[in-house]
Amino acid sequence: MQMNTKDWNPNLYLKFGKERIQPSIDLVMRIEMDEPSTIIDIGCGPGNSTQILAHRWPDAEIVGIDNSPAMIEKAKSDYSNQNWYVVDADKDEIEGKYDIVFSNAVIQWIPDHPKLFKKFYNLLTNNGLIAIQVPIFWDMPLGKAIANVASQNQWASKTKGATKQFTIHDYHFYYDILSEIFKSVDIWESHYMHVVDSHLSILEMIRSTGLRPFHNLLEKDTDKQAFEDMVLRHIEKDYPLQKNGKVLLPFKRLFFIAKK
């Protein structure tokens, strides 16, 4: 099957699988539930984070959904004994009832979070819970660097609308929205200190995520390269080299678990 050129790239995404999967591990370990029967992973990607759920609750029926055919194809290839479906969590109806609705670094791509949480709430069994992680992308120098470059005259018209593809709020917003509909809310932030090989590694890490909406609007490969080069110069300034040549990338993430 020929993939849409603007579909997600599973192999590029998994290049930094270790950095991406640790928040899933931490989130799953904070879930207080002994034996859930049914779990859904919203925006499961290539299925790597879903395995954290499967390892903790091997007897649970786990479903992974994603709106990317490429990601689901990769998940089916790597974990053929599990349930994977192409479903858009924003636009499509999601079938079933679940003890846990799990989502790691996905809802920032969905625009209406109050509506989304009500949808998640309705997916839960009577004593179910949601467990979600969101990257606080625009609070970091990395996110600000991309926004700064995109706002410059050279790129403003070409990348118009890219930043609006992200929906990320602060913890005040999420607590207020969640506490209106859920019985209890546990919310926290963590900073992950990624040790990467170079400034270029940071660029490669976000090429499949934070840079993706901007790439999709830039039709020429030369423009994509020029845009990246400008972002890279910001990265080199904002993240100094360590004595051993490595670069430290603090990555800020917001977590919440809300019980029905």
Is 4 contained in some domain? no
CB of 40 closer than 8 Å to CB of 96? yes
Task: For residue range 172-215, list pLDDT tens digits in order.
Answer: 999 999 999 999 999 999 999 999 999 999 998 888 788 989 99
**What pLDDT sits at residue 12?**
52
Is 47 contained in some domain? yes
Is 2 contained in some domain? no
Q: Which domain holds residue 24?
A: 10-259
pLDDT average, residue stretch 15-20: 61
**What pLDDT sits at residue 20?**
72
Task: For residue range 118-169, list pLDDT tens digits in order.
Answer: 999 999 999 999 999 999 989 899 999 999 999 999 999 999 999 888 999 9
Give the Å distances, CA to CA, from 165 to 72, 131, 258.
22, 22, 25
Q: Binning pLDDT at 50, 70 and 90, where does residue 3 land? A: very low
Cα separation, 82 vs 203, in Å, equals 32
What pTM was estimated for this model as a whole? 0.90
Is 5 contained in some domain? no
Task: For residue range 39-62, list pLDDT tens digits in order.
Answer: 999 999 999 999 999 999 999 999
Is 1 contained in some domain? no
CATH of the domain at 65: 3.40.50.150
**What pLDDT sits at residue 50?**
95
CB of 13 closer than 8 Å to CB of 206? no
How would you write the chain as a 3-class SS string? Answer: CCCCCCCCCHHHHHCCHHHHHHHHHHHHHCCCCCCCCEEEEECCCCCCCHHHHHHHCCCCEEEEEECCHHHHHHHHHHCCCCEEEECCCCCCCCCCCEEEEEEECCHHHCCCHHHHHHHHHHHEEEEEEEEEEEECHHHCHHHHHHHHHHHCHHHHCCCCCCHHHCCCCCHHHHHHHHHHHCCEEEEEEEEEEEEECCHHHHHHHHHCCCCHHHHHHCCCHHHHHHHHHHHHHHHHHHCCECCCCCEEEEEEEEEEEEEC
Contacts with 206 (C-beta within 8 Å, 6 or more apart), sequence order: 142, 146
Is 3 contained in some domain? no
Give the Å distances, CA to CA, from 197 to 85, 147, 152, 249.
35, 24, 29, 10
Task: Residue 60: name the closest of 90, 40, 85 by CA.
Answer: 40
CB of 138 closer than 8 Å to CB of 147? yes
Task: For residue range 222-241, list pLDDT tens digits in order.
Answer: 999 999 999 999 999 999 99
Is 30 contained in some domain? yes
pLDDT of 11 above 70: no
- The β-bridge partners of 191 are 252
Cα separation, 167 vs 9, in Å, equals 21
Total count of domains within the chain: 1
**What pLDDT sits at residue 17?**
56
Is 140 contained in some domain? yes
Least confident range of 13-27, 157-171, 211-225: 13-27
